[in-house]
Each structure stands twice: as C-alpha cells, then as structure tokens.
Amino acid sequence: MRAFSSFSNASGLSMNNAKYEIFFNGVTEDIREGIKLVTGFREGTMPFRYLGVPIKAGRLTKQECSSLTEKMVSRIRGLGAKKLSYTGRITLINAGLNTLHNYWAQMFIIPKSIINHIMAICRNYLWDGSPDYHRVPLVAWDKVTLPKKEGGLGIKKADVWNVATVGKLVNWVYCKADRLWIMWINDVYIKNQDWHGYSPPSDAIWGGYDWICPAHMTLNWSAIVWNNWNIPKHSLTTWLIMHERMNVKSKLFRFGCCEDDLCILCQRQTEIVEHLFTSCTYTVTVQHHLLQWYGGSFPTVDSLIADNRNSIQWRIKVAMFNAFQYFIWFQRNNARINEWLLRPEVVARRIEEDIKRRVNQKFRAVDDQTVFSWLQSIGVL
C-alpha cells in the first residue's frame, strides 16, 4: 500500500477502491481479515473477468466460456452480416470471428464443446449466413479448413489453433521470457531444472499449427483458383466447381427437387457441370464473344496448368476463366429463380469490363514492349 501511495503522489493518479478486489489462497482467516482492513479492498470470488475474459485458478468450464460464442453470434447477427456473399463471409470469419477465438485461445485451453460450437458457428455462417444449422454444407469442414494450395479456403481449425497458441506459452516458459508470471513459474516450479532440449522458432504458433495438421498434396489447380488477379467471388465459384459441389439440375432431379434435369440455359441436354460450363450452346456463345475481344482459344484447366504461370497474359487469362465460370453460374441461377436471362454478348461484355477494371487495379508498369502493346490491343491500358 506504501508503493501504491508513492505512485499516486508521483503521478497524481489514485485507485478507486470500489473497483478493486483481493483474492486469497493458503492464508488463515485472521491474516485475510487483517489484509482487507489495511487495504480497504473487498474480497473477490473466482472466476472474475479481466480484459473481457474469465480468470480462475483451474480450467474454464463450458458455462464460463459461453460468452465467447455469444459474442460471435452477435457479430454475425449485426451489421448486415447475413447479406454478405460467400467471399465476404470468409473474410468476416477470418478477420472477425476467428479474431475473437484467437484472443481467448492464446490464454486458455478452451473446452472441447465450446471449440465444436465455434466451428459449427463458422460453418453454418459460411454456407447459410446464419449461426444456426439450416442448410447442408456444400463442402466438408475438414476440406474447407485446408490451406488454399491443398484445396481448402484457408480457414483455421479452431481446435488445432488452440493447441498451437497454448504451445507458444510453453515456449515462453522454456525460454524464460521476461514476464512476471513466467518468472513465478520458473522460480516456484521449474527452478533450476531443464525444460527440454528443443528451441522453437519465432513463428511458433504457425509452426505448431502446421506441424499438428497433417500435410496434404498440393493441388495443381490451386494457383488457378487463388490467383491474386481474380475477383474473390469468382474464385470461390471456381473452387466449388473444382470440388464438384455445384447444385446442378441433374443432382437436384435425383433428390426430387425439380421436374426434369434439362439444362436451364439451352433446354437440350442434361444439366451436369461439364455440359453447363463447356458445351452448352449459351456457354459456347459467351466464349465466342469473349474470344473476339481476347483472341486465341478459350482457356481450360488443363491448358492453364500447362502454361507459363509467371506471365501477365496467364494471370489475365486465369482471371477471365474464373469470371466466366462465375457469370455462367450467375445467369443459370438467374434463369432458374427469376426466369429471365441476359443475351450472351451482354454477359461477355460484363466479363470484359470486370477484367479490365481488375487488371487496372493490379497492373504495374512493365519493360516488355510486346506485353505493353498486347495490353493496349485488348483495351486494358
């Protein structure tokens, strides 16, 4: 209390005793009452909240962690989050929901039931815009949480991330970091004993996360889907196509959700993914109008995999390919739900306009005069 008084005299700041509590362990009732009399603090009970999280001596219970999931749900239900596109929802999950979880995960082992609830909230929000289960996910969550190069969306696994972040605390104890609680642990428990012989790197959290998650094969189409010149919503459509998770009419017809399985765009053949995006007469006409602008032959997944991935031409071609997939699927859904369809040349023009805007956002000056002339010829510059 003399130290608090000295600090107050030097800084002009003083404590508000009504907001302070004191906690005891291993002392007699007489000492406890004497300390409360000297300090004027009231005795608190655990758990108490500090910086938004519950603090207690033992592991947190499901009830004590429920405020974490409540905050995640309230964030989803506010700010028009339900109206976001798939790409917007992925961004909110990574930048908003997982940030809340990460704050807690760096301090505690979160109960398994809460971890499962967090993953369920993220999964349900991604596919339905709601924290509750209303819609069957298009892609399994284990696949969604894979890195993008392995066919996933790069969303972190909440359970693995919790283990990896707590592993960082172990690293601090081992390295005897300059923190009060670590000094206490080393002085009271570890003392002069060696922790172990392994010295983790500075990026211990991501290193631990990658070490715990089993490695999968890098997919040769991942660079096509996640090329940074793509418009994000276009990439997600292509990602679903590559995983064969599009609800085309052939699939809906098998489940009794529609009267026939004919392609909505041409009304001639069965609507399967291959027909819809490659051989449908509407699709082929859109491709024809695009090639009048771009030239050459229309790209395919195989041709894009084989091409030089470092060229600007390849990036623009990939961006056009992803935009084409998105607009065909958009028009298909528009015809099914609203019963009207844009002319192929209008769709091609909108794809062209999107690509030109995107290239102007990403383009940096190049020394290659041939590339520069080509960009001018397609009207990008």
In a domain, 129, yes or no: yes
Q: What is the pLDDT of residue 186?
A: 78
240-275 residue pLDDT tens: 999 999 999 999 999 998 899 999 999 999 999 999
Rounded to 10 degrees, the C-alpha dihedral 342/345/351/352 comes to -150
100 and 148 assigned to the same domain: yes
Q: What percent of the chain has pLDDT over 90?
A: 49
In a domain, 51, yes or no: no
Helices 312-337 & 232-242 angle (0-180, nearest 10): 80
Containing domain of residue 9, as a range? Answer: 2-45
Within this chain, do residues 112 and 236 fall inside the same structural domain, yes or no? no
232 and 209 in a common domain: no
Co-location of 145 and 272 in the same domain:
no
Shared domain for 357 and 247, answered yes or no, is: yes
Could you tell me if residue 96 is inside a domain?
Answer: yes
Angle, helices 312-337/281-294, rounded to nearest 10 degrees: 150
Band of residue 238 on the pLDDT scale cut at 50, 70, 90 = very high
Q: How far apart are CA 333 and CA 340, in angstroms?
A: 10
Positive or negative, the CA dihedral 103, 105, 109, 112 is positive
Size of the chain in residues:
381
In this structure, is residue 50 part of a structural domain?
A: no
25, 27, 28, 31: CA torsion to nearest 10 = -120
d(CA 369, CA 223): 26
Q: How many domains does the chain have?
A: 3
Q: Residues 162, 234: one domain? A: no
Boundary residue ending a domain (218, 247, 271): 218
Q: Which of 195, 218, 241 is the last residue of a domain?
A: 218
Same domain, 104 and 25: no
281 and 366 both lie in a single domain:
yes
16 and 103 within one domain: no
Q: Average model confidence (pLDDT) for the chain?
A: 88
**Residue 229 in domain:** yes
Contacting residues for 379 by C-beta, under 8 A, at least 6 apart: 293, 356
Q: For residue 369, tell me if it sits in a domain.
A: yes
In the prediction, which pLDDT does 288 show? Answer: 96
Residues 196, 327, single domain; the answer is no
Is the same domain home to 211 and 227? no
pLDDT digits (tens, 9 = 90+) for 87-123: 999 999 998 898 899 899 888 889 999 999 999 999 9
- Residue 180: exposure state from Cβ atoms within 10 A (0-12, 13-18, ≥19): exposed
Final residue of a structural domain among 169, 188, 218: 218
Specify whether 266 is located in the same domain as 236: yes
Residue 58 pLDDT > 90: no
Instruction: Tell whether 157 is covered by a domain.
Output: yes
pTM above 0.85, yes or no: no
